[in-house]
Structure 1
Amino acid sequence: MQRLSFFPTPYPDECFYSIFCRYYVRSGLSSPEAATRKFFRSDRSLLVSTVYFPRKFELLDYWVDPDSGITGGDLICNHTSYPYHSVSHVDDLYWQMEEAIRSGIPESGIERTVRRMMSKSKYVSAGQYLRYCPTCAREDFRKYGEAYWHRIPQLPGIVYCSEHGCRIRDSDAPFEEMRVRIYPASYVLRNIRYNAESIQRYKENYFFVARETAWLLRHGREFGGYKNISRKYRECMIERSYADYRGIICDREAFVNDFRKMYGDGFISEILPYSGNPLYWLRYLQESIGFNLRPLHHILLMGFFAGSARNFMDMEIKPTQPYGSGPWPCVNSLCTHYKAEVAERTDIQKMGNEIWAWFECPHCGMKYRRSKPDQPFEEYLLKPCISDRGFLYEQKLKEYLSDQEMPLRAISERLGVDTRTIVEYARKNGIDLGKKYKERCPSWKVDACRERTDYYRMRVMEELQERHVLSCKDLKESVPGAYEWLIRKEPEWIHSKLTHEFDKPRWQEWGEAALIELKAAYAEIQAFGDHRKRVNISWLARVSGLNRDDIYGRLPYLPEMQKFFDEVCESQEEWIRRRYTEVALEKKKAGGKEFTYNDVKRKVQIRRESYKRNQKLIEALIVELNNTLFKNGL
């Protein structure tokens, strides 16, 4: 394959568009169209994107000799903005680019990957003109005899040069005309004027953004994609109590207020000129940040959590866990390690709004459960929840039962259990307690059943006087065994005294607060979300920072929330009909003659099971759209 007659040697931090401009100047070609076709084998429509992205790099062997030392990886890393963008790329996009850097540009090229990068990188506050640092341009003229376009000034949020500290200026080369003309820096910047620097508000903040942008251009790839960054964000938020142990934001207001306090509302509105709330993207920390956050967002977040991107990369955070990192105390008063931190955690689960954890002492075998991470251990010891009393308890119980002179009351006091527990153990293990034990134990009396019922009823009324509202869950925790007994003996009475967990006032308050968050999330989705996606409860929950399972579990008891979901959420059938109609209208507008499944297969992705379930609807919808839009010419 015949190569170009020459390829300009790239300068430090030179963007790829500038390399092409220098080729155009030296090639002797007078027509921008001819130069573009000779260099890229394409028209000029791609020139704007070469300022940032590696376009047509499969032509590398056509551009340079293999012995030149110029590689595709070198051009991608040092002359495009890929390292800067890599911090926000999803996994497959990141690894496809890394494979191209490591193994070389494949013959088929990386155009599909690059187009995905372009669709992801919708710039915030990017200029309308090619931009430059006047001091850098003068140094380039002095050192190389010509100027060139640097990468850093073209990126969002750059107001000052990170190296010289001077104000970045707009050139006379507009982006919108780059499809018609070619703008070599040596020509555009040939007459640089010395203008007095105006005083810029938020100068220190802009210096910070410029320094971090320059650092990401050199080291952004070292993060390994967005997942490591996402994990650190989660741990930082847990450490600062903005999120619970799972990383779900529980104090969004404090998080946003602290973020505003650090950067200031004026600077945030200026560097992120969104219509509406400039910090709307903070909601998407609950979703995959690889889809929703841009590099500029990451720069601000890394500065907030660690002071700089470099500190954020070097930062080591130990995962924060409820109940600490262990070991934990033993709760068995019979054990020689009582209250000593020797127990191990055997399990941890999310149960409703609570976090339950189970612990076991290896020296006595006792297992216990905790459900309140913030509860002081001494307070928990007053009413511990024992799951298994362990082998030491069993040994002591057998020893005490073998002593016929020891009363049951004394045994129960030594072991810290009720006499009925001892009798039940003896019954299960075939131990005869003897006549005198039977006479002392109320469970053997004729009226024991009535006494037990009266006792549990009394305890239920005591709990109601103290709490006013009592649920089944509360009763099981405060009076173990009461619910199980009364539901068999007096079900109507116990049902009349208990309130369903989700009928408690606090759950109604939760529902009202959650509904406000869900409505705000819906407004954010309508303003900034991808309208091609189906609006459902899961999406609303992620954006609002709520747990989806909590919503599903409580929804039957929250009619206002159910009404809201009925109004705004789409069924899958409604979504399929809406999206198919939109795609059909797009094809009609483009001059299409027929609407087929191939037109929507990629634009409206449906899982195989969903397709099978809705196949009749889809086939009927395609026929209907062809009849109404294409055959009738409407």
Structure 2
Amino acid sequence: MIFFPPPFPDEILYSVFARYHARSGNENTKKTMRDLFGSKTVCAVTDLPAYLNQLQMSIPGNPISVDTLLNKHTLLPFFRPFMPVERYERILEQLIYGNSQSVYMKMGLPASGVAKPVVLRYCPACVRFDRKEYGAAYWHRNHQLAGVFICPIHDCYLNSSSILYAQRRNKHEFVMVESIIGHELPPLTSRGGEKELLIAKRASDLLQTNYLSIDVQEVRRKYLDLLASKGMLTAKGSIRFQELIPYFVHFHGRELLGRLGCLLDVNNQDTWLHKMLRKPRHATHPIRHILIQMYLNVEMAKICEGHRVGITDVFGKGPWPCLNKAVEHYKEQLINNVVITRCSDTRKPVGTFSCCCGFIYSRRGPDLNATDKFRVGRIKHFGSQWMNRLKEINEDDTLSLREKGRLLGVDPGTIKNQTKKLETFRIITLVKDSTTSPNVTIERPMNSRKKRRVSSRPKRVDWRERDQVLAQEVERVAKEIKYSGNRRVTRSEIGRLLNRSTMIRTKLGKLPITSARLTQVTEYVRKDDELLELRGGHTTQMQL
């Protein structure tokens, strides 16, 4: 990669990649994937792209930190405040070093009931402004949030594009907004409703402010205090759901709640509102937090009060030093901002310091003397320059683990762990490339496979019965595809329609009838194709 387009304000990374592909001159999208991520098998993801460490290292000069890519150009800040710190850090690590396949499950999005947009959306007024200000329109993060129907800036309904939010077929394709809209834009649609506008503005606030994770029990206590002021708690502190739900539905309106996937039934004792306000054991979508905050007339900034303390009181006055020993500006005071939270165990303030080199560290306060300014409590993110330096010193066999740790400012255990991550990422990339490049050979490190824990539970799956049922379903779906006339009968298409792609790909050894049926229907298609070709050839001869 010899260049990378600077991201525009609030531009989603998908849009930046689309602009890069259009200007790079690459003849296909897989070449673009290799430029960006070092592998042509990475899929295009709209909201939460992964492999960001590899992306950041691929950008010439590394001018953009991973922290900036995540917080300014993905949708992660929208979900962060309502995730436990431990879960957020696991997701963060996965997006930086791995893929995003299981991120949605960890965030509880599939079970939330709040559906993602079907297609990418844009605001005509924003398009006009972007063309005048930046020379081209682009996809905005604000417009791709679930539950947001209008532009929070111009108060008009968003226009739907023809580009799917989650591509099924062209999984490596990035599409610019300029390529699907003409010079003459459609007229602005009618203004949105008052509550729709407030939802859009509060969702935008979550996205732009980048609030830190808040203790869900603390959030629940604040909700209960506000409900008590509305008379919605009994003398023993129980919630009067029979009274709360009708008031809540009347406040927002059934139509709006239905569009958001947040309808409530007063006769149901296990709604999403029950799960949120009782002991919170389930992840709750941010849109639902916005709805309850609107009903209680409280803003997110007020909810966060008590989780922040004065900067000058605990960590002194900035700027603060970068403590990355792998860079030339080590100990130079380049960090102008610090984010302060409370330790969940000790309730002491914790400061998080982010440098432009991608190095992020934190320490527990308060600072008691001048030397505390140069103390690292925990490294949250190492950054590409630190990882590149680790690669370099790992090539020197004369250095011990302790010496490597001294050079990079960490302990030997951290050197081993980060080296494993580098090796794992290299192997994943090679494995993906080997699927399309048969000449690639992969050397796996010894003991790279973890021993699986043997379960003592009896096998509950009746594979014989499942095999018979699935074989019938395969035959039924194959006929439907064949009669549709516009799709080929393939294993992948059958698995997708049955929602059994993984089972068909990995468990056919336990499904002999299904395996034979799949072979039969796919071979039948090939014979039909051959017959069609023969008929076509015969027709051509007759015409001659």
Partner Cα separation in structure 1 for residue 458 and residue 277 of structure 2:
29
After superposition, the C-alpha distances for 1:576-619 in whole angstroms (9 at most, x for unaligned) are: 77965599957865453678xxxxxxxxxxxxxxxxxxxxxxxx
In the alignment, residue 6 of structure 2 is paired with which amino acid?
T
Partner Cα separation in structure 1 for residue 464 and residue 102 of structure 2:
24
Q: Which residue of structure 2 lines up, in the alignment, with residue 357 of structure 1?
A: none
Bigger RCO of structures 1 and 2 (CA < 8 A, at least 6 apart): 2
* Alignment TM-score, normalising by the size of structure 2: 0.52
Q: Alpha-carbon deviation of 1:40?
A: 2.8
Q: Alpha-carbon deviation of 1:301?
A: 0.9
Q: Which residue of structure 1 lines up, in the alignment, with residue 50 of structure 2?
A: 55
In the alignment, residue 237 of structure 1 is paired with which amino acid?
L
* Alignment TM-score, normalising by the size of structure 1: 0.45
- After superposition, the Cα gap between the structure-2 partners of 1:19 and 1:284, relative to the gap in structure 1 and judged at 3 Å, is same
After superposition, the C-alpha distances for 1:85-141 in whole angstroms (9 at most, x for unaligned) are: 11332442124457x69xxx87x4475774545653667253321101111111111
Unaligned runs of 5+ in 1: 317-575, 596-625
Q: Alpha-carbon deviation of 1:289?
A: 3.8
Partner Cα separation in structure 1 for residue 99 and residue 126 of structure 2:
32
1:280 paired with 2:277, answer: no
1:295 paired with 2:286, answer: yes
Partner Cα separation in structure 1 for residue 243 and residue 236 of structure 2:
18
Q: Which residue of structure 2 lines up, in the alignment, with residue 214 of structure 1?
A: 204
Q: Which residue of structure 2 lines up, in the alignment, with residue 268 of structure 1?
A: 257
Q: Which residue of structure 2 lines up, in the alignment, with residue 184 of structure 1?
A: 176
1:28 paired with 2:53, answer: no
Q: Alpha-carbon deviation of 1:629?
A: 12
- Same amino acid, percent of matched pairs: 22
Q: Alpha-carbon deviation of 1:310?
A: 3.2
Q: Secondary structure at the match of 2:50?
A: coil
The aligned runs of 1:139-288 (5 Å cut-off) are 139-175=129-165, 176=167, 178-179=170-171, 181-195=173-187, 197-198=189-190, 203-224=193-214, 226-243=216-233, 248-249=238-239, 251-272=240-261, 280-286=271-277
Partner Cα separation in structure 2 for residue 34 and residue 584 of structure 1:
45
Q: Name the Cα RMSD after superposition.
A: 3.9
Q: Secondary structure at the match of 2:49?
A: coil
Partner Cα separation in structure 1 for residue 162 and residue 260 of structure 2:
23
In the alignment, residue 298 of structure 1 is paired with which amino acid?
H
After superposition, the C-alpha distances for 1:289-346 in whole angstroms (9 at most, x for unaligned) are: 4624101101101111234333443499xxxxxxxxxxxxxxxxxxxxxxxxxxxxxx
Partner Cα separation in structure 2 for residue 116 and residue 14 of structure 1:
25
Q: Alpha-carbon deviation of 1:252?
A: 1.0
Larger Rg belongs to = 1
Q: Which residue of structure 2 lines up, in the alignment, with residue 76 of structure 1?
A: 70
8 Å CA contact 1:153, 1:161 repeated in 2: yes
1:304 paired with 2:301, answer: no
The aligned runs of 1:394-433 (5 Å cut-off) are none
- After superposition, the Cα gap between the structure-2 partners of 1:174 and 1:96, relative to the gap in structure 1 and judged at 3 Å, is closer
Residue 8 of structure 1, aligned match among 5, 9, 30: 5
Q: Secondary structure at the match of 2:282?
A: helix
Q: Alpha-carbon deviation of 1:22?
A: 1.0
1:138 paired with 2:123, answer: no
- After superposition, the Cα gap between the structure-2 partners of 1:248 and 1:63, relative to the gap in structure 1 and judged at 3 Å, is farther
Q: Secondary structure at the match of 2:163?
A: strand
8 Å CA contact 1:13, 1:78 repeated in 2: yes
Partner Cα separation in structure 1 for residue 30 and residue 175 of structure 2:
13
Partner Cα separation in structure 2 for residue 583 and residue 156 of structure 1:
42
Q: Alpha-carbon deviation of 1:239?
A: 4.3
Q: Secondary structure at the match of 1:179?
A: coil
Partner Cα separation in structure 2 for residue 64 and residue 196 of structure 1:
37
Q: Which residue of structure 1 lines up, in the alignment, with residue 59 of structure 2?
A: 64
Partner Cα separation in structure 1 for residue 234 and residue 513 of structure 2:
52
Partner Cα separation in structure 1 for residue 134 and residue 297 of structure 2:
39
1:39 paired with 2:20, answer: no
- After superposition, the Cα gap between the structure-2 partners of 1:288 and 1:136, relative to the gap in structure 1 and judged at 3 Å, is farther
Q: Which moved more, 1:59-68 or 1:137-146?
A: 59-68
In the alignment, residue 46 of structure 2 is paired with which amino acid?
V
Q: Which residue of structure 2 lines up, in the alignment, with residue 86 of structure 1?
A: 80
Aligned residues: 327
After superposition, the C-alpha distances for 1:440-462 in whole angstroms (9 at most, x for unaligned) are: xxxxxxxxxxxxxxxxxxxxxxx
Q: Alpha-carbon deviation of 1:45?
A: 6.5
Q: Alpha-carbon deviation of 1:186?
A: 2.3
In the alignment, residue 220 of structure 2 is paired with which amino acid?
S
- After superposition, the Cα gap between the structure-2 partners of 1:198 and 1:21, relative to the gap in structure 1 and judged at 3 Å, is same
Q: Secondary structure at the match of 1:46?
A: coil
Partner Cα separation in structure 1 for residue 102 and residue 141 of structure 2:
21
- After superposition, the Cα gap between the structure-2 partners of 1:35 and 1:245, relative to the gap in structure 1 and judged at 3 Å, is farther
In proportion to residue count, which structure has more helix? Answer: 1
Q: Secondary structure at the match of 1:213?
A: helix
Residue 592 of structure 1, aligned match among 473, 482, 507: 507
Unaligned runs of 5+ in 2: 308-456, 467-499, 516-544
